[in-house]
Amino acid sequence: MAPLKYSKQREAILDFLKTRKDHPTADMVYNSLRPDFPNLSLGTVYRNLALLADLGEILRLRVGDGTDHFDADVSPHYHFICSECGSVIDLEMGNIDEIEDIAGMNFDGQICGHVTYFYGKCGACCKSSMS
Amino acid sequence: MAPLKYSKQREAILDFLKTRKDHPTADMVYNSLRPDFPNLSLGTVYRNLALLADLGEILRLRVGDGTDHFDADVSPHYHFICSECGSVIDLEMGNIDEIEDIAGMNFDGQICGHVTYFYGKCGACCKSSMS
DNA sequence: TTCCTTGCAAATCGTTTGCATAATG
DNA sequence: CATTATGCAAACGATTTGCAAGGAA
């Protein structure tokens, strides 16, 4: 559908995301890449993030803070969002796909996916608030 | 904290939400109430929805379609979002709170909540697409 | 040369906010 | 009367888009 041509901006955006585990926003990507691409435009960042997400090369996380976060780790895993500092952290946890079966029991449609975010206070915030 | 005064707009907004099971957006609330309140303003709708959500009288649902949906049913339950028609449907399903325990097992912070949305094709869309 | 991609700026969309006025307690 | 709530419009932040120019195939 889309013959897709190479662009060094897109490559840089994907490479950058792969180096990060903190799930940056479009703006963070933009600002981090500006030193290397002085006339990079925010529009290009948004366009490529959307494209990469559509291709399944990255994940778009709608964590509920108003701005989308992105993750180059597309393997199935879950995220935790700290209610204090807002950081988005990967969770290493067992499979919970059975919740789809539970959800589908009294439902007359097809469930083929779910999105789950966990909330609370992260380790760092727990420590720093030992008041 | 907030001495809260009565307003017929707020009452109408809450009453309206209670009559609906389809989780309207702010704009839907606004348009549905306009016949009764010709000079109701969208700002008032947003202000009251935010207020009611803060008070815990309604739920704000961030289903991922860019606009918030609201639900006057504040009892614990889950939602399904149809990927075809976008409708937001209540699910009657058993408790899955154990996913928080599973998530917390290898995590050094405190997990005190989760948000889960199920996706797929709703009953109506399944029927209408029996191609 | 074709047409995808970029940079830039303007436009959109959902939502929030400032302010003068109206309504509540 | 003290204050909260409203309507209106302007302001906002995140994201998208139109367009002319640049770069890949």
Read off the pLDDT of residues B68-121 as tens digits, 9 standing for 90 and up.
Answer: 999 999 999 999 999 999 999 999 999 999 999 999 999 999 999 999 999 999
Question: pLDDT confidence of A1, banded at 50, 70, 90?
Answer: low
pLDDT reported for residue B1: 64
Strand D nucleotides in reach of protein CB atoms, 7 A cut-off: 3-10, 13-18, 23-25
Helix (H, G, I), strand (E, B) or coil at B56: coil
Listed by start position, the domains of chain A span: 1-74, 76-131
Does residue A94 contact residue A111 with C-beta atoms inside 8 Å?
Answer: no
Entry pTM:
0.93
The string of pLDDT tens digits covering residues B26-35 is 999 999 999 9
- C1’ C10 / CA B112, Å: 44
Quick: pLDDT tens for A78-90.
999 999 999 999 9
How far in angstroms lies nucleotide C20's C1' from the CA of residue A89? 46
CATH number for the domain formed by residue range(s) A1-74: 1.10.10.10
Going from the C-alpha of B3 to that of each of A124, B6, B55, B114, the distances in angstroms are 36, 10, 12, 31
Task: Tell me what the pLDDT averaged over chain A comes to.
Answer: 96
Residues of chain B in Cβ contact (below 8 Å) with chain A: 62, 64, 78, 80, 82, 89, 91-94, 96, 99-100, 102-103, 105-126
The per-residue pLDDT for A130 is 74
**SS3 category, A23:** coil
Rounded to the nearest angstrom, the minimum Cα separation between B103 and chain A is 5
**Contact by Cβ (8 Å): A92, A130:** no
Report the top-level CATH class of A76-131: alpha beta
Q: What is the mean pLDDT of chain B?
A: 96
The answer to whether residue A96 scores a pLDDT higher than 80 is yes
Q: Could you give the CA distance from residue B89 to residue B93 in angstroms, rounded to a whole number?
A: 12
